[in-house]
Amino acid sequence: MLGQSLPRLVTPPPGARSRALVDVLARTECPAFTARRARRAEASGAPQDPIVWAEARGSNVVDADGNVYVDLTSGFGVAAIGHAHPRVREAIAAQSERLVHGLGDLHPSDVKIALLERLAQLAPWEGARVVLSISGSDAVETALKSAALATKKPGVLAFEGGYHGLGHGPLAACGYAPAFRAPFAAQLNPHVRFAAWDEHDAGAALRAVDAAWSDDVGAVLVEPLQGRGGCRPASPGFLAGLAERCRERGALLIADEILTGLGRTGATFWSVEAGTLPDLICVGKALGGGMPISACLGRAEVMAAWGASDGEAIHTGTFFGQPLSCAAALASLDVLREEGLAARAAEVGGRFAARLHAATGRPVTGTGLLLGVRFDAPVLGLVARLLGQGWLTLPAGADARTLQLVPPLNIDEPLLEAFTAALAAEVRA
């Protein structure tokens, strides 16, 4: 049954139908994407042509040729409750009978108001205020603007290895790879400083923060566990030290929980679980159960800096709070809570990490079901070979030496065991 099925390949991927579609892609899509595949193929020594997704249910993805894969990426962390969860599909269908599009912040929809109320309750502060948006990048943009308004300081402290999306605001703070910023450098916030990220030594990490700090810093933007940067957690005590510095120096702490939040790491908010109370929290990815929606949650005092509107909303978007996405988000939050998926992520993730380490002998980092297996060389070839056996995984880290494993939080454990065996065999080979 599709949903929790082992890989089933009917043709070596990518099959003929996928290849034909990718030819169309190569003619029509922005050439940067096509060129990237060619470069990855060169770097890995293995073909990197993509499969074309045609269907997905639960932990399974089916490609255009009918091959069935197990998705250990959750589609970039989105399918936390699995792909196309029935509750999400029902919510979208029911909402589509009533209201597909609203009038945003001018004449808001009832379902948008319900989601705002739910997220305000989920936030770790009394009286939290929420801004809905579409992408993770949007949510970070909202947080950066909120901090600039509240502190009247333009500076941002961000971290090497950090990834926050690619709109101009978050891009300026993209420490993942300088190459992302370089072509647009002249257009980006010049008041961004980067501190080194030390996942092992909180003292060294805090000294790096002190060295990078300047008086104009109004926002410190941090992923409590760097995902794309290579599954690199904050060292214990680091986030608390960071929050203390923010308080002392009049800056606000923004936790980018777009990947880590809503259960993935075993808690609703990983920064809070790790003993820190940020001033602003960004969520996205898992929030919409597959629909595009994100949110910036903020302390009431911080969000008060936006002031009362003088008639024009100075931060909005046509599709912010889109009714179908709001309905999907409410269903997705219900499923996460009712199925206890944060606790399950912690439990299953703990066992998965231990098995991965035992089977491969490689270091395993991360927490809950946000895990990385570290290698000494880039894993692009490994990712391609695993795809050839029906396992969808991603490389992480600017050096691509981490195999990132981000399965749905409700994935059947035998699938993880079968994957561990497949990975161990690849490592031995």
Q: Interface with ligand PLP by CB under 6 A: which residues?
A: 76, 135-137, 140, 163-165, 223, 227-228, 256, 258-259, 284
- The minimum distance between CB 132 and ligand PLP, in angstroms, equals 13
- CB-closest chain residue to ligand PLP: 136
- The minimum distance between CB 164 and ligand PLP, in angstroms, equals 5
- The minimum distance between CB 14 and ligand PLP, in angstroms, equals 24
- The minimum distance between CB 162 and ligand PLP, in angstroms, equals 8
- The minimum distance between CB 345 and ligand PLP, in angstroms, equals 16
- The minimum distance between CB 78 and ligand PLP, in angstroms, equals 9
Report yes or no: 43 and 51 within 8 Å, Cβ to Cβ: no
- The minimum distance between CB 421 and ligand PLP, in angstroms, equals 29
Distances (CA, A) of 20 to 14, 27, 383, 397, 425: 10, 11, 22, 31, 32
- The minimum distance between CB 407 and ligand PLP, in angstroms, equals 16
Q: Choose between 286 and 416: whose C-beta lies nearer to ligand PLP.
A: 286
CA dihedral 17, 18, 23, 24 (to 10 degrees): 80
Q: Choose between 141 and 412: whose C-beta lies nearer to ligand PLP.
A: 141
Q: Choose between 202 and 293: whose C-beta lies nearer to ligand PLP.
A: 293
Q: Choose between 259 and 342: whose C-beta lies nearer to ligand PLP.
A: 259
Q: Choose between 65 and 256: whose C-beta lies nearer to ligand PLP.
A: 256
Report yes or no: 365 and 232 within 8 Å, Cβ to Cβ: yes
Radius of gyration of the chain (CA): 21
Q: Choose between 15 and 395: whose C-beta lies nearer to ligand PLP.
A: 395
- The minimum distance between CB 294 and ligand PLP, in angstroms, equals 6
